Amino acid sequence: MPKLLHIQSSPMGELSFSTRAAKAFVDAYAGAHPGDSVEVLDLWKTELPQFDFTAASGKYKIMRGLPHAGDEARAWEGVVRLIEHLKSADKVLVSAGMWNFSIPYRLKQYLDVIIQPGYTFSFDPEKGYSGLVTGKPLQLILASGGEYPGGSPAAGLDFQKPYLEMIFGFIGFTDIRTLRVEGTLTPDAESNLNGITEAASSAGKVF
Ligand SMILES: Cc1cc2nc3c(=O)[nH]c(=O)nc-3n(C[C@H](O)[C@H](O)[C@H](O)COP(=O)(O)O)c2cc1C
């Protein structure tokens, strides 16, 4: 059964704009793909591995082609489990708010855990970097309190959309679609959400 994995990174529950827009996407997706399963990974309700000294030492060992020591191997069990979980999905949806012009730290922690040499990317001195998470479309649904229209001076402050599109591209995603609800801290917040909800429903049907 094909699986859509929804990686949810707002802690705001039903008040979250990114989660509400993502819900419209998922509802439309489920209606159009009745044989598929949808799994939610709520990054605020999931225990993510700490990427501490032992885990980082294990990463450097892989980069140097060295075997893991016992404690590194144990620390990496959780890392590999999270990577395999991502790879088990056929399609991926990530919803996120903008925090300090970038992404919430739980989503950054998730990315710091799963982006690993030999697992989600590889490096070849002649060919450079290659992503290893291939063949899956990715839908990003992003919310921000302010507005960052392309070409405006404010766009230069936006490290949310460009970062997420770059980093998922780095690990192999080539079909990346992005929807944004902006101005969620303005009086137009709800009407902005309504506009994006319709777009999210249309996008979910054909994902
Ligand atoms: C810790 C924190 C930092 C934020 N930083 C920004 C920011 O730099 N720029 C911005 O436009 N909005 C910022 N906001 C507002 C959020 O982007 C906005 O409330 C958005 O709707 C959050 O997504 P959510 O509703 O899905 O949780 C911040 C909110 C929080 C809680």
Which ligand 1 atom minimizes the distance to the CA of 16? Answer: 25
Q: Is 134 helix (H, G, I), strand (E, B) or coil?
A: coil
H helices of 66-141, where?
70-87, 105-114
97 Cα nearest atom in ligand 1 = 23
From the CA of 98, how far away is ligand 1's center (Å)?
5
Tokens of 205: 């049907």
Find out whether 136 and 120 touch, Cβ atoms under 8 Å: no
Burial class (CB in 10 A: 0-12, 13-18, 19+), 84: exposed
Give me ligand 1 centre to Cα 59, in Å: 32
The C-alpha atoms of residue 95 and residue 107 are separated, in whole angstroms, by 10
Residue with tokens 């039903």: 14
Query: What one-character DSSP code corresponds to residue 15?
Result: G
pLDDT value at residue 131:
98
d(CA 20, CA 42): 14
- Give pTM, 2 decimals: 0.97
- Tens-digit pLDDT profile for the chain (207 aa)? 999 999 999 999 999 999 999 999 999 999 999 999 999 999 999 999 999 999 999 999 999 999 999 999 999 999 999 999 999 999 999 999 999 999 999 999 999 999 999 999 999 999 999 999 999 999 999 999 999 999 999 999 999 999 999 999 999 999 999 999 999 999 999 999 999 999 999 999 999
Q: Are strands 121-124 and 128-131 parallel, antiparallel or unpaired?
A: antiparallel
**Model confidence over 105-128: pLDDT tens digits?**
999 999 999 999 999 999 999 999
C-alpha of residue 99 to centroid of ligand 1, in Å: 5
CB atoms inside a 10 Å sphere around CB 180? 22
Q: How far is CA 102 from CA 46, 135, 144, 167, 188, in A?
A: 21, 26, 10, 13, 22
Give the residue, out of 15, 107, 144, with the most ligand 1 atoms within 8 A of its beta carbon, to mutate for a pocket test: 144
The residue whose CA is least distant from atom 9 of ligand 1 is 101
List of domains in the chain? 3-205 (3.40.50.360)
For atom 15 of ligand 1, the residue with the nearest CA is 145
As a dihedral over the C-alpha atoms of residue 66, residue 72, residue 77, residue 80, rounded to 10 degrees, the angle is -50
